[in-house]
Amino acid sequence: MKRKKTATMTWENAPDTIGVEELMEILGVGKNYASNIFNSRGFPKIEQIGTSLKADKEAARLFLQGFKIKENPKNAMEYMILLELKKLNKQMEGVKTNEKFEITND
């Protein structure tokens, strides 16, 4: 009998560059399944570093959502911009309306 795995990491908490182990934790899947994702056609993995497979977490997330970055980079870029705008909006919700909000280039 197979034991059901559960996700132990979120995309937000994952490091910027993920490997098979992190993908297992994010998706709550086994090593074979996560490895198959990394080795699937079109997956945006970074050139192999030694024996480990690595990928940018946002590129991997987009791939799993059906955005083929290598085939249609414009759609993927537009979606990444949308995600960043959502994050910014969420941060802005925390700012009180009577406070000054300044963006600085530090």
DSSP 49: E
How distant, in Å, are the alpha carbons of 11, 19, 38, 58, 85 from that of 34?
A: 15, 9, 6, 16, 29
- The DSSP bridge partners found for residue 92 are none
What pLDDT was estimated at residue 27?
Answer: 93
Higher local confidence (pLDDT), 53 or 21: 21
Q: The pTM is what?
A: 0.65
Neighbours of 16 (CB within 10 A): 7
Residues 4-33 have pLDDT tens digits of 678 889 998 999 999 999 999 999 999 999
